[in-house]
Amino acid sequence: MNISDVAKRTGLPAKTIRYYEEINLIRPARDTNGYRVFKDTDVHKLAFLGRARALGFAIEDCRTLLALYEDETRASADVKRVAQDHLTQIEDKLAQLESMRDTLTHLVQECAGDARPDCPILKDLAKD
């Protein structure tokens, strides 16, 4: 299978697939003409990576998860720890964004949004 077929199947851009090879997440074979040749296992790994990325895991986490996936003697605790750490980071980020949203929502509501220069948003940003 060539790269564009794999891209269609996995939903990943070809660029991304090449990048994943470059950083050794996958190692597709090569045809005599230099084209990458993907086996089902490659496609499967890429789909795995795509889903892990969609859950927000960093590339290095994805590498770890893939290694755990391929290690049949893994402990589920190792997987859980990676996921739990990531979940904690997401929750931190959420709290931060919610705080921003709350402040911004308030400021936007206060602002008349007309032709006059008076603006509580700027006033807040410029407060001493």
Partner DNA sequence: GATAAGGGTTCCAGTCACGGGAAGGTCAAG
Partner DNA sequence: CTTGACCTTCCCGTGACTGGAACCCTTATC
What percent helix, strand, coil does the chain show, rounded to 5? 65, 5, 30
CB neighbours of residue 11 within 10 Å: 13
Which backbone phi and psi does 17 adopt, to 5 degrees?
-65, -45
Residues 15-54 that bind DNA (CB under 7 A): 15-16, 18-19, 31-36, 53
Between residues 13 and 56, which has the closer beta carbon with respect to a second copy? 56
Give, rounded to a whole angstrom, the gap between the first and last alpha carbons of the chain. 62
Q: Tell me the number of residues near a second copy by CB under 8 A.
A: 51
Exactly one of 2, 4, 41, 103 binds a second copy (CB under 8 A); that residue is: 103
* Number of helices followed by number of strands (H, E) in the chain: 6, 2
* DSSP single-letter state for residue 117: S
Which of the listed partners (a second copy, DNA, none) does 53 bind, with a CB threshold of 5 to 8 Å by partner kind? DNA
CB neighbours of residue 42 within 10 Å: 21
Between residues 31 and 92, which has the closer beta carbon with respect to a second copy? 92
Contact residues: DNA, CB under 7 A:
2-5, 13-16, 18-19, 31-36, 53, 58-60
Contact residues: a second copy, CB under 8 A:
44, 48, 51-52, 54-56, 65, 68-69, 72-77, 79-81, 83-84, 86-87, 90-91, 93-94, 97-98, 100-101, 103-105, 107-108, 111-119, 121-122, 124-127
